[in-house]
Amino acid sequence: MKHKKINLLLSFIKGNRRNYIIAILFMILATMTSLINPLIIKLAVDSVIDKQPVSLTGVFLSMFNNIGGRDVLINNLWILGCLLILISVFNGIFNFLSKKYIAIVSERTAKNMRNKLYDHIQYLSYSYHVKVDTGDLIQRCTSDLDKIRRFISQQLMEIIRALTLISTALAIMLSLNVNLSIVSFVVTPIIVFVAFKFFKFIKIKFKETDEAEGKMTTVLQENLNSMRIVRAFAKQDYETDKFNKASKKFKETDFVVSKLMAWYWGATDFICDVQLGAILILGTVWATKGLLTIGTLLAFMAYSHNMIWPIRNLGRVLADMGKASVSLNRISEIFDEIGEDIDLESGLTPKINGEISFDHVSFEYEEGKPVLNDVTFHIEKGQTIAILGGTGAGKTTLVNLLVRLFDVKSGAVTIDGINVKDINRKWLRKKIGIVLQEPFLFSRTIKENIAFSNYNATEEQIESACRVASIYNVIRHFDKGFDTMVGEKGVTLSGGQKQRVAIARTLLNNHSILIFDDSLSAVDVETDAYIRDQLKKNLHSTTTLIISHRISTLKQADKILVIEKGMITQQGTHYELIREQGLYKEVFDIQSSLQSDTTKGGETRE
Ligand code: DGT
Ligand code: MG
């Protein structure tokens, strides 16, 4: 498992490894150069101002002597000043380059991760999307990804920096004075340990805050989405109260975190100050006894001061790594889901004429809860079939099986005698057009919404599809016509208008089979009849399945299927079925007696 996660992480950085290594090298250089200045100060204080022997060896000593040794430096103190500046400049350049390269790695990796994940999600099976919580998925694609990005670009770098700093400083300090080094480092492990424990503990609190914030956002989101119903039922007070509660909970948990953080920084500040104090006191005592030089003491003070922040941060970074690991887990879970179109290129791509057979088909979404039970029927090419059934009877499920959003458990669905399981999914869905029960329109222009099914469609084709769907005149009367935005930033379409746009979208492709899943429920009977009439004229060779509750729609079909609790209970033409006892006749009787009412209301055709 661990191995897999590391591989996933490496796959995200792929193509950026060189930049990453460059960033790390520059950071190590920057960290090391930052440790030179205290040594120069020590040199100035001890060997130039005071007259101690120079504590340089090898090349450095000969370099020192070559530029004239102590005598030149004491007359030209500016040389050491310039050296300090020069080193700071180098430090700045190295820091800049490290940050620049890590920014490149960070942004590219984030882009890599986002695209890979999005791509993968596009091809996950429909059943995965049905069961998954969208909010959770969004969180995985955004904040979890960001945590991994931060791990790669900040946390890992911080750890390498802190380790370089500690090890190099420790080596220098030990070479200067062993006793004072022990004093300087004695609290370091304690601080790292305390910081690590503290951040592990506060993680639980962070999680509580995250959850409280999530809940508050959900209340807000739900409220904004349901403003209409809130107004209609005059429930503003109740909703305000609900939000206030969620907001209060968030405030409280957030306050606890802030308080704990204040404690932590205060306490560790104190420990660090005690340590600096100890170095100062012991260092001074030892210096007065001649056990160490003033320059060494100054260097120790500088090193200890420089290390306080990275050391305290190290514990925090180590604890934070846990978060990144959780996020990596959550993302690798998505990658573990196998995409349905893994076989994108496999399967047959036959010419589809439109003859459909369901042969003893049974299906269940969940074990032990059969939704379709031994369904058998046959549709000839070019026929129009109507399906009637109560809500939850299994009509949409039937359609889902035909386009392989789900696969049958037993029995077979065949098109032109070929089992749909053998047909390439993409091909199948290209050949079968569905107008979904709940039409979804994107917040894009009407034209884009319609052309969604076929981006190569010409203006004429779009217009003609709209005419058939009886929506052309409605669109034409909008200010910007086909370029009118739909949704929040544009026009609000009525239920019936949405359905008709969805129909136009589906008609834009030349399908061999067309399915209307209760797609005319929100348009009035007259428009319904007009659209069906247009369809008949334009698509006489297309096999059409119409799911509807309206007898006037059903009656014209070549064959009507009645489905009850997942079983086909009646099959036949309108005239056959009204002579039989059964659901069809019951619905027919009710609707005939209400006919005068049903033709009223609803939307009228333009
Ligand atoms: P409608 O649209 O209300 O007129 O009803 P139908 O006939 O289209 O019903 P259908 O096929 O959507 O649902 C049949 C049964 O299956 C119903 O009890 C709900 C259940 N069901 C539908 N979709 C899913 C799904 O994605 N997952 C699970 N677990 N059950 C589902
Ligand atoms: Mg349905």
| Segment 507-532, tens digit of pLDDT | 988 889 999 998 888 888 888 888 88
CATH of residue 82's domain is: 1.20.1560.10
Q: Do 327 and 378 fall into the same domain?
A: no
**73 has a pLDDT exceeding 50:** yes
Please give the single-letter amino acid code of residue 71. Answer: D
Q: Do 332 and 453 fall into the same domain?
A: no
CATH of residue 577's domain is: 3.40.50.300
CA–centroid distance, residue 131 to ligand 1 (Å): 13
Select from 306, 338, 370 the last residue of a domain.
338
Q: How confident is the model at residue 341 (pLDDT cuts 50, 70, 90)?
A: low
What is the predicted pLDDT for the residue at 602? 44
pLDDT tens digits for 270-313?
Answer: 888 888 899 999 999 999 998 888 989 999 999 988 888 888 88
Question: Is position 389 within any domain?
Answer: yes
**Tokens found for residue 498:** 């949405």
Residue nearest to atom 2 of ligand 1 (CA): 391
Question: What is the rounded end-to-end Cα distance, in angstroms, of the chain?
Answer: 61
From the alpha carbon of 566, which atom of ligand 1 is closest?
14
CA–centroid distance, residue 372 to ligand 1 (Å): 10
Average pLDDT value for residue range 398-413: 91
Residue nearest to atom 24 of ligand 1 (CA): 365
From the alpha carbon of 127, which atom of ligand 1 is closest?
26
The answer to whether residues 13 and 328 touch, using CB atoms and an 8 Å cutoff, is no
Q: Do 327 and 392 fall into the same domain?
A: no
Is 391 a pocket residue for ligand 1 (Cβ < 6 Å)? yes
Q: Do 197 and 334 fall into the same domain?
A: yes
Is 437 a pocket residue for ligand 1 (Cβ < 6 Å)? yes
Residue nearest to atom 10 of ligand 1 (CA): 394
Q: Do 226 and 199 fall into the same domain?
A: yes
Q: Do 562 and 434 fall into the same domain?
A: yes
Q: How far apart are alpha carbons 517 and 403 in whole angstroms? A: 13
How many whole angstroms from its chain centre is CA 220? 20
Strand 356-366's sheet: what is its strand order? 369-379, 356-366, 410-415, 418-419
Q: How far apart are alpha carbons 115 and 141 in whole angstroms? A: 10
Select from 290, 311, 338 the last residue of a domain.
338
Question: Is position 3 within any domain?
Answer: no
Q: Do 43 and 147 fall into the same domain?
A: yes
Q: Do 264 and 219 fall into the same domain?
A: yes
Select from 312, 338, 364 the last residue of a domain.
338
pLDDT tens digits for 354-405?
Answer: 899 999 999 999 888 999 999 999 999 999 999 999 999 999 999 999 988 8
Residue 347 backbone zone (phi > 0: left; psi -120 to 50: alpha; other: beta): left
Is 397 a pocket residue for ligand 1 (Cβ < 6 Å)? yes
Q: How confident is the model at residue 568 (pLDDT cuts 50, 70, 90)?
A: very high
Question: Is position 8 within any domain?
Answer: no
The tally of domains found in the chain comes to 2
CA–centroid distance, residue 439 to ligand 2 (Å): 12
Question: Is position 505 within any domain?
Answer: yes
Q: Do 334 and 367 fall into the same domain?
A: no
**86 has a pLDDT exceeding 50:** yes
Question: Is position 290 within any domain?
Answer: yes
Question: Is position 347 within any domain?
Answer: no
Question: Is position 4 within any domain?
Answer: no
**601 has a pLDDT exceeding 50:** no
Q: Do 280 and 393 fall into the same domain?
A: no
Share of the chain above pLDDT 90, in %: 39
Average pLDDT value for residue range 436-456: 89
Residue 234 backbone zone (phi > 0: left; psi -120 to 50: alpha; other: beta): left
Is 517 a pocket residue for ligand 1 (Cβ < 6 Å)? no
Residue nearest to atom 18 of ligand 1 (CA): 392
Q: Do 442 and 303 fall into the same domain?
A: no
**482 has a pLDDT exceeding 60:** yes
Q: Do 326 and 462 fall into the same domain?
A: no
Question: Is position 439 within any domain?
Answer: yes
Question: Could you tell me the residue range of the domain that residue 27 belongs to?
Answer: 13-338
Q: How far apart are alpha carbons 286 and 277 in whole angstroms? A: 14
Is 371 a pocket residue for ligand 1 (Cβ < 6 Å)? yes
From the alpha carbon of 366, which atom of ligand 1 is closest?
29
